Structures are given as structure tokens and as C-alpha cells.
Structure 1
Amino acid sequence: MEEPTKEESTAPAGARNPSHLFGGVDSISSLPDEILHHILSFVPTNVAITTSVLSKRWRHVWCKTPYLSFTNINASIESIHETLASYTAPKIMGLHLYVDSESFEEASERSNHVDSLVKFAISHNVEKLSLVLKDYYVFSDFFFSNPSLKQLIVDSRNKMSPKCTVSWTSLQTLSLRNCLLDESFAKVLSGSPVLETLTLRSCSISCLDLSESRRIRRLDIEFTNSSPKKCHIVAPHIHYLRLIDFRQKCTLGDVSSLTEADIDSIYFVPRFWCIQVDLEDPSKDLDYQVMMQTMLEKLQNVENLTVGLSFLQMLSIAEFRGVPFPTLKVKTLTLKTTIIRSAVPGIAKLLQHSPELKKIFFYKTEDWNCAEKYVNRCLDPQDPQDLIFPAKSAFKVAKPDLVASFIELLLLNTRTLETLVLQLRSCLNTSNYDELSQIALTLSRKNKVSIVLK
């Protein structure tokens, strides 16, 4: 029997001889290198390195894993470079790097370290690059030239303003968070000719023109408090749009190829609209009405539409204030909301203007919503729905009569509906589920609609 090495004798119990866990057979070590590399891709590189003490079989496995992840950057630069010196894989499939604000005393030292790691990845034809940079960093010119890069994720509170020509000729997916973007972002787009998916989270940008990005099909945008007050989006080639929080009066230009959309605003936007007239120039209230009307018009050709509670509240306000609703081509509608009074008029109006609707999916969300009382003040106090739906939080446990009223509301405002699925999650107990099932069965037969409770 092979004597344990010094490294093996000091390894944790179980790691010294993993075979005893499998009845004397080391099943994991017998796996091909490709599978072991895949397993190691789920852990940070410093953890992957520790497997080298398990046995001779494992001693050099980590050296060829095509995935590197440096999440504990507080380790010395020397040890990281020593790690890279032992790395023998000809190609890096993915590199993840996390650098916080306390990793280095000097900004220049931090930048040099990031540069060296990125250069190393580029020299190994990296395909997936993920950078989380929590402090100041300037993206060097070499960063923008990488023909092998297919997926790039950057979370950095710094400017991404290339002064050079961008050459990301294989890039298919780009995800940016907290980045400051200006007119030079056009270089990124023009230098990414096969880009298909663009995600912008908490990025500062006032105009996004994707007219020349003919391959982009998916656009995902979330704004924050630091975003500009106005943002204009032109994306004639996208098929999918996810747009969250248009507090800054986001406007959509040409989105003529759009067939699927996920639209919502953050929780306080409906409240902000409701109190505009009281606090500022009344014309700003008109701005919101125009914005809502324009957005609805841009969604006319969408066949799969997902909306959240805050957007439904915005629709309720728009309906009360006379904003005209266009006829929509929605065939599948997903409602992510809870059953409360302020969302009801918006839901009804949406259904009434979707004459081709076939399926509705309802997903119950959290009850809490700070805009509820403000929105209710803007609604018709004589509306009989006040007697049916609660004006505050809905339910922790599904009340059969309330859910039944909601189902009837949906059925009443549709004529072509074929399927209704209600995902009530943990709100259903055994007795309520049985009672609701009977109600759903009755309504299903009466209206010739398949009703499913989950």
C-alpha cells in the first residue's frame, strides 16, 4: 500500500483517504479529468488547490481546470502569481475576480494586480470573464481587445469609457452593473458585432441606441436612484425587454420587433406620481400620463407580457386619469402581484384591451406595498370593487372568497381565455385548497376555461 505523503498526513480527516467514504472504492478519483475539472469549477481556486493533497491522482488536477475564481483577494499577490505559474491549462474557459476596497492600500497596486490577472486570462483565450471591482479602477486599452471573449460580466463603480477601438468580435452576452456609461459606450456596441444579450443594472445612462446592434435580441435594464432623470431607449431588433423602474421618465423609441416584455416599476413610483400635483408643477403629472400612454403603445405587438404590482398600480392611476389604452396583441399574460384594491382597475383595463388573450399566469407576491394608500386616493370612491378587494395587505393564507372574486374578475374581463394558472405558493392550507379547488372547478366548467391552482 502506498505510504501517505506529508501533505496527505496533514490533510483533514476524510480528505487524507476519501476512499473509506465509498466502501473502500475512491469513486470520485476514478472519474475522468474533464468531470473533475467541472466539479472544481464550482469552488474558488484556493479551495480547488487544496485538493492536491488528497493523493497523487489529485496533485495536478487543479492545474488544468479551465475555470479560475479568485474571491479571496486578500491573499498575497505573490501567492496568486505562484498559483498562476503552476497553471498548465492551455485555455481558460472562465475567470471570476473579486476585488473589494480593502484588498490593497494603493490604487496603483490594485490596478496593476487586476491588469495582470486580466492579461493572463486574455493570453489563455478566456471565454467567460467576471469582474467585481469595488473600488477605483481604470479599464486599460488591452481590456477592450479580446477576440475569444463570449461572456463578460462587470460590476464596477467606475467609468467604462473606452478611448480605443473595441474588439470583442465573439462577445454574445454583456452584463454591466453600477458602471458609468457615456457616449463612448457606442464603441462597445460597435465593437461587439455578434452581441445577443445586453444587461444593464444600476448603470448611469441617458440614451441607449441599439439601432446598429442587429444581433441583440434580449435587453434587460434596471434603473436606480443614481440614474439620470430621463432615459431614451431605441432597440428595433430586440425580441425581449425587461424594464424595471421608469421613475426617470424612461421613453421607448423604436422597439418594433418586440414580442416579449417584463415591465415593472419600483414600489414608490406610483406614490410619487400620485403626489406630484400636490408637491410640484402640475404639468409633471401630465408627463407621467404621456409616458404611460407612450409605453403602452410601444407594447402593442407584445404577445408574452409580464407585469408587476407597481406597474399595475400605475395602470390603475392611468385608467382613472383618462389615459387612452391601445389594443394589445397579448396572448400570454403573467401577473406578479398580490390581490389588493389598487391593482384591480389596472388589471381589468389590461384584460379588456387584450382581445386575443389565451393564458393568464398569476404569481402571488409579497403583500407589503407603501404606495397602496396613495393610489387608492386617486381611484373612484364609488367603485363597487371597494367592497370586494382589501385596501391594504391581502392575505397570508388564501381566503377562498377573495381568491374566487379575483378569479371571477379575470374571467369577467376576458372573452378568449383558455387557461388560468394561479400560483398561491405557501398561502394555501389543506382546507382552503380543497374549498378553492371546488370553486375553481365550478368556474372552470361554467366559463369553459382550464383553471389550475398551485
Structure 2
Amino acid sequence: MSDLIENLPDILLLHILSFLPTKEAVATSILSKRWRPFWQSLPILAIRDVDFHAYDLEVFVQFVDDVLLLGNLKFLNTFSLTCWTIRVPYEKLSSWINALIQSRVESIEIWFPSSFNTKLPSNMFNSKTMKVLKLNGITFDSLRAVSLPCLTVLYFDNVRCADLNCVAVLVSGCPILETLVFKSLDTKHYGPMLDVGKLDHLVAARVPPSLLPWKALANVRFLSLRSTWIPGAMHAAWSPAGDIPTLYNLTYLECYSNMWTRMVNYLHSFPKLQNLVISEV
């Protein structure tokens, strides 16, 4: 069997390795000289703390250092880091992200428990190549400058920020955004949000009610207002009021509402609506 595997072409071996957890894929480098560089040619790396015995911080950090700081990342396209138990030091997280940005990775996913209050370095939000950014359990004190000219998917869950200006700066720095998800957002100061302009490329959005001005959603097709403001679930309800511009492309709308009968008066603003889902609060 070993001879059969060794006779397979490199491209097929790489395909097989792509189905393994990153820790196991890297471990194959000890098999032979031929196998040693294979994992460095993988386009996808997914690292999870649950794959490490007893969640050893030192071992875990050393492993990620070896992969991101000592490895060859020129073939890397997608990177995922999941830590539900291990608290990664800020300096290490910063150096890892810097390595990913410099290697021109197109997709980054980072998952931490919200209780960790994990903060990311500012260079995370300045990339000329990133297309997908998914974050869970991240805390923002402030965001001064964001430049993500190629980002099409922005997905946030259990995100905590000082005020909505952070959100405005972030969204404004993604000019070709197609999918925007704020599944749950925790902010102490709701306040007026900065104008993010019209998001011309936005197709799908899941955001809390009143997070974005309606003109920013002018071209959206799928809209969910069932995201959650934390704390204060009462902010999850959408009560239509004022003028709503015509959303000519909207075909799907879902929301929480405690005054759903008032929505009848606003349906004329959605002439192509095919699906309307209302969950009563």
C-alpha cells in the first residue's frame, strides 16, 4: 500500500492532504523527503486548539509559529484559526496576521469565545487581496482606517465595539462588499452612525434594524433584520417608520417585529418581494 501511495503524482497527494486537519497534514512531512514540502503547498490551512492534547498553549503557539512564520505561504489561499479554550497572546496573534497579510491570503476566519475579549491588530483591516473575512468573538476599541478593496464577504458574530463609528469605518472601507452579516452586535453607545454611502454591490445582508441607512441597502436582494443587539433584545424588533426608499431588487425580507401590521403600509417600497418572514417579538 505504501508503494502505491508513493507512486501517486504530487497533485493527487496534495488533493488527499487537503482533506486532513492541518496538524495531521503537517505531520506527514516526517514520512520522507518527498513528503516534507507538500503541506506548504496546500491552499487551505485550518488550525483548531481542540486538535492539541490538553490545549497546551506553548505547544499550540509553537505549532502555529512553525506553520505561519517559518513555512512557505505562497500557495495559501484560505486560513482558519479556531480557539475555544486557548487564549492566544496579542503579540503572537499580531505576528500571525501580519504573516497572512504579507502572503496575500484571500480568506481569513478567526473564531474565539466572546468572553476572551480578543482584539485584532489594525493590519487585519488593510489588505489588497482579502476577499472573505469572518470573525467571531472579537472586540474593537476603535478603527481609524480600513482598506479592503477586494473584500466581498464580511461576516461578524458576537462582536463587541465601543460605538457604531467602528462599524461605519469598517463598512466604508469595503467598496465592493456583496455579503454583509452582523449576526450579533454588542455596543455600549448606539448613537447616530456615520453615513456609509450606497453599497452598490451589496446583494445579501443580515444586520440589526437601524444599523445601516436604507440608501446603503438600495440594491440588496436578500435582507434579514433578525440579527441581535446585545445587550437589549428589544432592539432586535423592527418597527417601520418614516420614509423607506424603493428597494427594486429586494426579493426576500425577514425580521422581528412587535408591530407587524404596520408593515403593510410599507410593502409598496419592495415591488419585487417574493418572501416575507415576520417573527413576532
What one-letter code is carried by the residue in structure 2 that aligns with 1:144? F
Please, which of 258, 269, 272 is the counterpart of residue 249 of structure 2? 258
1:63–1:86 Cα contact (<8 Å) kept: no
Query: Would you say how many aligned residue pairs link Structure 1 and Structure 2?
Result: 255
1:29–1:57 Cα contact (<8 Å) kept: no
Once the two structures are superposed, residues 78-133 of structure 1 have per-residue CA deviations (whole angstroms, 9 ceiling, x without a partner) of 23212335422424201111223x414xxxx6211211111110110010000112
Secondary structure of residue in 1 paired with 2:206: strand
Equivalence for 2:231: none
1:179–1:202 Cα contact (<8 Å) kept: yes
Once the two structures are superposed, residues 186-232 of structure 1 have per-residue CA deviations (whole angstroms, 9 ceiling, x without a partner) of 211221111111112112475776542222122123x5xxxx8x656
Please, which of 17, 31, 50 is the counterpart of residue 27 of structure 2? 50
Alpha carbons of 1:176 and 1:42: their partners in 2 closer, same or farther (altered >3 Å)? farther
What one-letter code is carried by the residue in structure 2 that aligns with 1:296? L
Equivalence for 2:223: 241
Question: Partners of 2:201 and 2:212 in 1: how far apart?
Answer: 20
Length-normalised TM-score, structure 2: 0.76
Question: Partners of 2:63 and 2:168 in 1: how far apart?
Answer: 39
1:40–1:48 Cα contact (<8 Å) kept: yes
2:119–2:138 Cα contact (<8 Å) kept: no
2:29–2:35 Cα contact (<8 Å) kept: yes
Once the two structures are superposed, residues 228-260 of structure 1 have per-residue CA deviations (whole angstroms, 9 ceiling, x without a partner) of 8x6565111212223336863325643523332
Length-normalised TM-score, structure 1: 0.49
What one-letter code is carried by the residue in structure 2 that aligns with 1:118? I
Question: Partners of 2:260 and 2:168 in 1: how far apart?
Answer: 29
Please, which of 113, 119, 123 is the counterpart of residue 102 of structure 2? 123
1:211–1:236 Cα contact (<8 Å) kept: no
Question: Partners of 1:146 and 1:179 in 2: how far apart?
Answer: 21
What one-letter code is carried by the residue in structure 2 that aligns with 1:112? E
Secondary structure of residue in 2 paired with 1:180: strand
Question: Partners of 1:40 and 1:304 in 2: how far apart?
Answer: 44
Alpha carbons of 1:296 and 1:31: their partners in 2 closer, same or farther (altered >3 Å)? farther
Within a 5 Å distance, the mapping from 1:29-428 to structure 2 comes to 30-33=8-11, 35-72=12-49, 74-75=55-56, 76=59, 77-100=61-84, 102-104=85-87, 110-134=89-113, 135-159=116-140, 161-163=142-144, 165-181=145-161, 182-204=164-186, 211-221=197-207, 233-234=213-214, 235-244=217-226, 248=235, 249-251=237-239, 253-254=244-245, 256-263=247-254, 265=256, 273=258, 287=259, 289-290=261-262, 292-294=263-265, 296-299=267-270, 301-305=271-275, 307=277, 311=278
2:238–2:255 Cα contact (<8 Å) kept: no
Alpha carbons of 1:112 and 1:173: their partners in 2 closer, same or farther (altered >3 Å)? same
Secondary structure of residue in 1 paired with 2:67: helix
What one-letter code is carried by the residue in structure 2 that aligns with 1:111? Y
1:133–1:156 Cα contact (<8 Å) kept: yes
The Cα RMSD (Å) is 3.2
Question: Partners of 2:248 and 2:184 in 1: how far apart?
Answer: 25
What one-letter code is carried by the residue in structure 1 that aligns with 2:124? F
- Report the CA distance between 1:47 and its aligned residue: 1.6
Alpha carbons of 1:156 and 1:29: their partners in 2 closer, same or farther (altered >3 Å)? farther
What one-letter code is carried by the residue in structure 1 that aligns with 2:248? S
Equivalence for 1:344: none
1:237–1:255 Cα contact (<8 Å) kept: no
Question: Aligned residues: percent identity?
Answer: 20
What one-letter code is carried by the residue in structure 2 that aligns with 1:30? L
Alpha carbons of 1:260 and 1:188: their partners in 2 closer, same or farther (altered >3 Å)? same
2:106–2:129 Cα contact (<8 Å) kept: yes
Question: Partners of 1:210 and 1:142 in 2: how far apart?
Answer: 21
Alpha carbons of 1:258 and 1:80: their partners in 2 closer, same or farther (altered >3 Å)? same
Secondary structure of residue in 1 paired with 2:105: coil
Question: Partners of 2:211 and 2:266 in 1: how far apart?
Answer: 13
Alpha carbons of 1:127 and 1:187: their partners in 2 closer, same or farther (altered >3 Å)? same
Secondary structure of residue in 1 paired with 2:201: coil
Alpha carbons of 1:85 and 1:138: their partners in 2 closer, same or farther (altered >3 Å)? closer
1:48–1:62 Cα contact (<8 Å) kept: yes
Question: Partners of 1:261 and 1:69 in 2: how far apart?
Answer: 33
Equivalence for 1:277: none
1:195–1:215 Cα contact (<8 Å) kept: yes
2:43–2:75 Cα contact (<8 Å) kept: yes
What one-letter code is carried by the residue in structure 1 that aligns with 2:249? L
Secondary structure of residue in 2 paired with 1:199: strand
Secondary structure of residue in 1 paired with 2:143: coil
2:219–2:250 Cα contact (<8 Å) kept: no
1:29–1:58 Cα contact (<8 Å) kept: no
Alpha carbons of 1:82 and 1:48: their partners in 2 closer, same or farther (altered >3 Å)? same
Alpha carbons of 1:147 and 1:85: their partners in 2 closer, same or farther (altered >3 Å)? closer
Bigger Rg, which one: 1
- Report the CA distance between 1:62 and its aligned residue: 0.5
The one of the two structures with greater contact order (alpha-carbon pairs below 8 A, sep at least 6) is: 2
